[in-house]
Amino acid sequence: MKIGFISFAVPGHFNPMSALARQLQSRNHDVVMSSLPVVEPLARAANLPFIPFGENEFPNDKAGEILGTLSRLKGEEGLQFTVDAIAQITKLKWRTFPKLLSANGIDALVLDDCDFYSEVVPMSLGMPYAILSSALHFDYSGYTPLCVYGWGNENTPEARQRNRQGVSKFTQMLMRSNAEMIAEVEKAGIKPNWEDPSSLFSDLPWITQCPREFDFESSHRPKQFHYAGPLHDGKGRPELNFPWDRLTGEPIAYASMGTVQNGNAQLFRTIVAAVSKHKGLQLVLAIGNVLRPEQIGLVPNNAIVVRNAPQLDLLKKASVCITHAGCNTVLEALTQGVPQIAIPVTNDQPGVAARIADKKTGETISLDGLDASNLSALVDEVLNNPLYRDNSRSIQKAIAKRNGLSVAADLLEQAFGIAEAEKI
């Protein structure tokens, strides 16, 4: 059986999905990654076979333009832009994937739950498929807040009503953005409940890399929903030239706004100004590929500003992680027991930040209310209050004990009936 992993064209989704594919590959299973052409270098770094799609519709410059626009958006505007972009790619998959999958001998799929409605492709083909939450999972039940909102989790009728209204608002957004594809799918005789995207999931596993210990409590998870844990193994990422010799031995504040929300130069300047108030603390700032380091302006002599950083290695040395609350950055920080300061921007980041607040693994602050003074105060609080590091280390222990990659690979083997291949 050949298993196709269909990934978004951004590292935050590609990295965990490719790590899981590589885990299955190590067990002698036939796997292949598929995404837009722009991520082919990531597939090469991960040593995985790769099938591009959308070469004409989404060439590298078009994909870069989309990410460049999103890098400067926030809140609901950013969420709407993301949903619209995904809808265009999903429509392309609906029209082209049946031939692509057949031509490449793909027998089963692993899809991202952020890839809204893409399940209609394997549904139309009678092909088995599992769901992976590479980012924070979407709970459409209303029993916990949908991850696009920064609400705390409350077990009250009023909170559940609020949650359900939030789900309805979001799914109406999905349906508007996907209206053209929905019409084509229904014309083909497939008529799922579009207002509940999880109803398109099969009975095969829906796997989240969020640890149970970091999630909101709920007694209403669907039967196929499984907690795994962070899906990374420290391998399979591009080699980066980082000036390790410039590390001074001082405690490190590692700061990154991820690979998408990184077009706000003023935000990076605020981070620099806040950390510079703390003598004896070294800032390592990864700004991504939208801006140039010189756009950040003057930085302290001991600060290191790079476009891309070896995040997994740096988090092993960090004392605090300043982040956009991207799911992967936060989970990678928790894997090392590093407390976080979250500045959520859009998409699932408010939901991740809400869990940081709920589990007290760090502090969160609104982008709109951010300045160097209050961010500096949070740095001081997180560094000097042992509560945040203790809670982060507690989740670190749970992550290590669980071994998310192994759990997720076991679930897929069982689901696709291929466990015996491990013994070949």
Report the pLDDT averaged over residues 131-136.
97
Residue 422 pLDDT exceeds 50: no
Report the pLDDT averaged over residues 195-217.
97
The model's pLDDT over 344-389, given as tens digits with 9 standing for 90+, comes to: 999 999 999 999 999 999 999 999 989 999 999 999 999 999 999 9
Report the pLDDT averaged over residues 66-73.
94
| Averaged pLDDT of the chain | 96
Domains of the chain: 2-234+403-423 (3.40.50.2000), 244-400 (3.40.50.2000)
Q: Which of 12-16, 96-100, 133-137, 232-236 has the lowest mean pLDDT?
A: 232-236
The model's pLDDT over 154-174, given as tens digits with 9 standing for 90+, comes to: 999 999 999 999 999 999 999
Confidence at 420, pLDDT banded by 50, 70, 90:
low
Confidence at 419, pLDDT banded by 50, 70, 90:
confident
The model's pLDDT over 83-118, given as tens digits with 9 standing for 90+, comes to: 999 999 999 999 999 999 999 999 999 999 999 999
Lookup: tokens for 222: 């669907």
Residue 318 burial by CB count (10 A; 0-12/13-18/19+): exposed, middle or buried? buried
Tokens 């052409």 map to which residue?
37
**Angstrom distances, CA of residue 133 to CA of 106, 203, 261, 284, 414:** 21, 15, 19, 29, 18
Lookup: tokens for 381: 């609080």
Confidence at 421, pLDDT banded by 50, 70, 90:
very low
User: In the beta sheet, which residues pair with residue 285?
Assistant: 255, 305
